[in-house]
Structure 1
């Protein structure tokens, strides 16, 4: 009922407050570009996950239409996610595909529960440096993964974004292998297509509205189809079938319907199914929330996506996808960034891209199979570059090491392991940086001399001093020389951990033996050589 209410509410909002077709002249061209980006990725992720290609298309269609309608994100696009590939391939291998679909449905239900419980706030706890590192890392990995496809070497499926690939190679060895397997025809049309895209972005798009309405990637795809037709049969310049998009082609409508697979709900009590469901729900939710955070940063209008509603939308999408034989769904940064870069303004671009996937696989699969993969690689190279511009590295470096280190660790983790590992490592480093700065910033220390000959030391505590600061404070107190005068200022301190009070208690005993006088300054006044820090701070707390 909650899901049905959410769908009804979404349609009501779209109908009453905003005209969904208001920005159609921007959304429709963007949806076409997203469609061309999503098509090979849907197929490639399915193959990389050990599923039939049609399962990836189902996830792309559901992600575009169902999630697009329910989501509160205006520019996010959902579909099968490369970040789930390792989990999916293991689950299919151990459960079988029909039992795996039960896990997908249950994962969707769990995500709906996450949304109801308002778990969407989790994404806000990731540092900005990690989010920027995620975007940059994805951009770099797109570029590295598309280089072989650009030159017509398509041994590894598009959408396999892990460092170690399903074909037994890794990201860099695949690039090296490309040297010996270059396809002249595929490379030629890719170079022409890339030149057109660069020209379109830098020059033609500023020359007239026609170049803004008709997007460069659409022209490049059309040119790729024409090139394939004109060079078909040419042994030198022609492009063989292995270098083309491979959409399943049904013989008739009944055979099209026969491609759908339905879950085996008899396995719903299988502990392995339940474990796979929870794992997919947790990882898919985290990946979605991080993507939401990233796309909101990329959004030129700086709109904020309601994260709990996004979990409800993703959960509903996964329930639908699992029921009809699709892979699990998340919001995906590659499609979302392509949507933003292509001028998409509202959720209509995501919804239309879903309908384009549905219509095309029914009506024109043979035409889609005339698109060279190298042409789509050229489009994705531009997407990757825009995500990982070199100037961003300079900006992060100039922002200081506290920003740059988590950023670069996230980038390297994504490139050399995978998306989730990269984010996890970046977050871990970010936490270490926070702890280190907390260690440093627990107090301010100032040393001066006074006329009595005793060295005067001023120590000012921060607003919050916790056990993380024990080491720094203990080090400073132990370094105070004999016959000194310590002025301890706690007027700004709102919280003082009991561990710190115990350190001060111990130091007060040492101070007497080392002839160190202590003056404690608080909002209540000044206390000379306080007999008990514990009593003092308890008194402060009750004041």
Structure 2
């Protein structure tokens, strides 16, 4: 009993930081859940279900201290195509349940290790790229142009426009009310962050985003009563489905049609969702861990298990697929979240507000939420981060920049893939260059004496560099090839050395080998 009380007390020990952070994440999550559902061609309520399950269920099962899960923009195109190909949302939900089961199995089989193979420069580029995208995507919402949905992170959008063309289109649809609200919101957020938060503890508990949202609701009430010309129209407000009764609320849940559980098409969709959702989750886990001021490390196998459990439940009650999401996770970090309690609380707030007070949520201007995301985006892509990465050298800066450009001009997964490929090329180049070390000196009779010391690990990738070095040696050289420090040498390299030793006499080159006793080499 004592142990149980201790665990409960420890779980709530950071509630003063987690509670305000959860409120910020909640306000960020509402429009994202709705926008991603809209882009996915699914019922709007399905996005809210995924947000609730991602917060409460995944938050409880995971040990990621700062990660927040919910519907992911990266899956929107896959979900849209899958619903259309399968013919019904109820059939698609079967694939979501199966995808969750696959993720649980991956977690049990220790599949979470995959996330550790992505370079730090790519992960930092992902964070900065997401920050830039968040900032660019929210500019139209801040001016009252809400044609495109909140959660669209791809450059090319479903309505035929792209990130930059939407900024041009925005100029023809500026809403005076949205602009006024944006100016007031940004003033509140910046003043709170730069001044008030350092003055008194109460300003850390009641954070700027909450005040900005309250201001937005008050603005809407006041202008509706006294200045109707400046009232923000309904299409520029949050739009949560409103049920007129409890039974109406329950009717918004959709259940899977398990008569299609053996369909090969359903299993293909399930496998696709499981792979993409797991990869996106693992990347977000590593990125969120890097943002963590305490530098805690998430158990990625447990995270896959948690995501799988969340997707099983989400699919069973009509929700979209779930992943850990960097936008919500970074908002959690920037707002001072300390433990997974903030994720769980944000899910509870979603459930309570959607069930009890959706009409109040529908009074929040999207412009206020855009300003909150402005601050999140800027903190992810600070100029100081670019300066730091540049100082680390081109081996770090090139993958970092390519990842950012890929994310901004394509989408999240393609941008990460581009950065990873650049990192791989740099790795191969460095491996090509670092296969050996040449030490040259001239002895008394004028002949050159050269010692080639091979690296600890020498693979087939290095054979070109070694062969080039050997062929460039002048006639009459006394060559010593030292393999004593090598742990492993590929047969391809040993074959090159063997051939060179057999033919070097034609150039008057004397070759001496220094081998390790336990190292397998060619038979000289």
TM-score interval (norm. to shorter): over 0.9
Distance 2:78 2:28 in 1: 23
User: Which of the numbers 140, 149, 152 marks the counterpart of 1:148?
Assistant: 140
Matched pairs, number: 519
- 3-state DSSP of counterpart to 1:41: helix
1:338-417 correspondence to structure 2 within 5 Å = 338-417=331-410
What TM-score comes out, normalization by structure 2 length? 0.97
Distance 2:127 2:39 in 1: 22
Distance 1:222 1:202 in 2: 20
The residue aligned with 2:7 is: 16
1:205-220 correspondence to structure 2 within 5 Å = 205-220=197-212
- 3-state DSSP of counterpart to 1:452: coil
The residue aligned with 2:217 is: 225
The alpha-carbon deviation at position 332 of structure 1 amounts to 0.6
The alpha-carbon deviation at position 130 of structure 1 amounts to 0.7
Distance 1:13 1:293 in 2: 31
User: Which of the numbers 103, 113, 133 marks the counterpart of 2:105?
Assistant: 113
The residue aligned with 2:37 is: 46
The alpha-carbon deviation at position 183 of structure 1 amounts to 0.7
How big is the alpha-carbon RMSD for the aligned residues of Structure 1 and Structure 2? 1.6
The alpha-carbon deviation at position 19 of structure 1 amounts to 2.2
Distance 2:80 2:154 in 1: 13
The residue aligned with 1:168 is: 160
Are the structure 2 counterparts of residues 461 and 74 from structure 1 closer, same or farther at C-alpha, using a change threshold of 3 Å? same
Distance 1:505 1:460 in 2: 16
Distance 1:301 1:17 in 2: 21
Distance 1:207 1:148 in 2: 33
Are the equivalent residues in 2 in contact too, given 1:45–1:158 (CA < 8 A)? yes
Are the equivalent residues in 2 in contact too, given 1:504–1:533 (CA < 8 A)? no
User: Which of the numbers 92, 96, 106 marks the counterpart of 1:100?
Assistant: 92
The alpha-carbon deviation at position 15 of structure 1 amounts to 6.4
The residue aligned with 1:36 is: 27
User: Which of the numbers 65, 68, 71 marks the counterpart of 2:62?
Assistant: 71
The residue aligned with 2:127 is: 135
Q: Please give the per-residue CA displacement for 1:490-522, whole angstroms capped at 9, x wherever unaligned.
A: 221110110000000111122111100112234
Distance 1:253 1:368 in 2: 18
- 3-state DSSP of counterpart to 2:11: coil
1:398-477 correspondence to structure 2 within 5 Å = 398-477=391-470
Are the structure 2 counterparts of residues 169 and 13 from structure 1 closer, same or farther at C-alpha, using a change threshold of 3 Å? farther
Are the equivalent residues in 2 in contact too, given 1:14–1:20 (CA < 8 A)? no
Are the structure 2 counterparts of residues 14 and 522 from structure 1 closer, same or farther at C-alpha, using a change threshold of 3 Å? farther
Distance 2:228 2:208 in 1: 29
Distance 2:4 2:328 in 1: 25
User: Which of the numbers 167, 174, 178 marks the counterpart of 1:182?
Assistant: 174
The residue aligned with 1:59 is: 50
Are the structure 2 counterparts of residues 13 and 93 from structure 1 closer, same or farther at C-alpha, using a change threshold of 3 Å? farther
Q: Please give the per-residue CA displacement for 1:200-244, whole angstroms capped at 9, x wherever unaligned.
A: 111111111111111000000000000111112745422111100
210-219 or 19-28, larger mean C-alpha shift: 19-28
Are the equivalent residues in 2 in contact too, given 1:62–1:317 (CA < 8 A)? yes
User: Which of the numbers 480, 489, 495 marks the counterpart of 1:487?
Assistant: 480
Are the equivalent residues in 2 in contact too, given 1:224–1:371 (CA < 8 A)? yes
1:497-508 correspondence to structure 2 within 5 Å = 497-508=490-501
Distance 1:465 1:387 in 2: 39
Distance 2:439 2:272 in 1: 52
Are the structure 2 counterparts of residues 204 and 447 from structure 1 closer, same or farther at C-alpha, using a change threshold of 3 Å? same
Gaps of 5+ in 2: none
The alpha-carbon deviation at position 14 of structure 1 amounts to 9.3
What TM-score comes out, normalization by structure 1 length? 0.93
The alpha-carbon deviation at position 340 of structure 1 amounts to 1.0
Are the structure 2 counterparts of residues 78 and 299 from structure 1 closer, same or farther at C-alpha, using a change threshold of 3 Å? same
